[in-house]
Structure 1
Amino acid sequence: MLFNVAQLMKSQVGASFKADLHEDEIQFDEVSRVVGPLNGHVRMRRINQGVLVDGWVDVTLELSCTRCLREFQQPMHVVYEARYYPTVDILTGMPVHAEDVEDAFPIDDHHHLDLTEPVRQQILLDIPMVTLCKEECKGLCSQCGKDLNEGPCSCEPEVDTRFSALKALLQQEG
């Protein structure tokens, strides 16, 4: 997802550029496996310090259910925003010392900016802490490991040993 922003960097502050995104095969890392194409939109605006980018992407990730451990596909709509700073002056080609760039991404020496990293970071932030294949997922049996979505197992319920004194009292009364 590379864009040449040389003309935008030559423009006045406030100038903008819009484009649609489409990537047939993209992989960000081993954590977020992308299934199918990535589609989206990007808007780039010239600011004093470089370029401000915002937009959205629609992507489907293959995730693992935290209850039953099954792999499932999760469609996501991810909104992102990033700031880019130039590393070379557009007119002279001389290196530029940029200030306040802790939360910004670099525009390379050939005036290309790459959207891959800010989109990847936002996707990772938008993945839920608990990923479920379905809301009513029953998970795995804690004793035998059977997938309870496929039916009940034959395990006896676990008895909490902390209540054994109460059980003994009930047996004495009965």
Structure 2
Amino acid sequence: MLSFNVAQLEKGLVGATRDYQIDDSLTVEGVSVNVKGEIKFTRTPRSVLVKADFKTILPQECCRCLDEYQCPLEVRFEEEYLPTLDVTSGLPLDIEEAAENFTIDEHHILDLSDALRQYIILSQPMKPLCRADCPGINTKQ
């Protein structure tokens, strides 16, 4: 599950943390992939800071031989999630940067799916190779 209720963390002291181990699936560019890793949530004065370290395997097409292979990826990121409601009063918060950042929804749910999907896409190799010594397309029959 890549969605977390962070209401108690938001009510906590600045610097409070929560650690989680993740083993879940996620759809990336139409393909379901398994993601395993660790996340750490840290309460800051205005947000929840997420530090994530994940591993996954994504099907890729080799740029030399055009065969499909399973490409292991390591994904690390830090992102700030801004609350949209005050956790105590329930009133909407007027945060100008909310449109440009990841947010915590009105039910105090922090959803990592979109950030993780974006970072997996960014982590893909520009020229995927099935192996370093791939000879390329074999034209001899």
Question: C-alpha offsets along residues 13-36 of structure 1, whole Å, 9 cap, x if unaligned?
Answer: 11111111111x321223xx344x
- Structure number with greater CO (CA < 8 Å, separation at least 6) is 2
Q: Which has the greater radius of gyration?
A: 1
Offset of 1:136 from its aligned partner?
Answer: 1.4
Aligned residue number for residue 20 of structure 2: 19
Structure holding more strand per residue:
2
Alpha-carbon distance in structure 1 between the residues aligned to 2:90 and 2:99: 23
| Equivalent residue runs for 1:21-170 within 5 Å | 21-23=22-24, 25-30=25-30, 33-35=31-33, 37-101=34-98, 103-140=100-137, 148=138, 153=140
CA-based RMSD of the aligned residues comes to 1.6
Tell me the number of residue pairs that the alignment of Structure 1 and Structure 2 aligns. 140
Give the Cα separation in 1 of the matches to 2:89 and 2:98. 21
C-alpha distance in 1, partners of 2:68/2:95?
44
CA distance in 2, matches of 1:133, 1:17: 38
TM-score, length-scaled by structure 1: 0.75
Partner of 1:170: none
Corresponding residue for 1:167? none
Flag as ranges the 4+ runs of structure 1 deviating above 6 A: none
TM-score, with structure 2 as normaliser: 0.91
Structure 1 unaligned regions, length at least 5: 141-147, 155-174
Which residue type is aligned with residue 131 of structure 2? K
Q: Distance in 2 between matches of 1:67 and 1:122?
A: 25
Distance in 2 (CA, whole Å) between partners of 1:99 and 1:49 is 13
Deviation of the 1:99 alpha carbon: 3.2
Q: In percent, how many aligned pairs have the same letter?
A: 36
Q: Greater CA deviation, 75-84 or 108-117?
A: 75-84
* Alignment-mate amino acid for residue 26 of structure 2: I
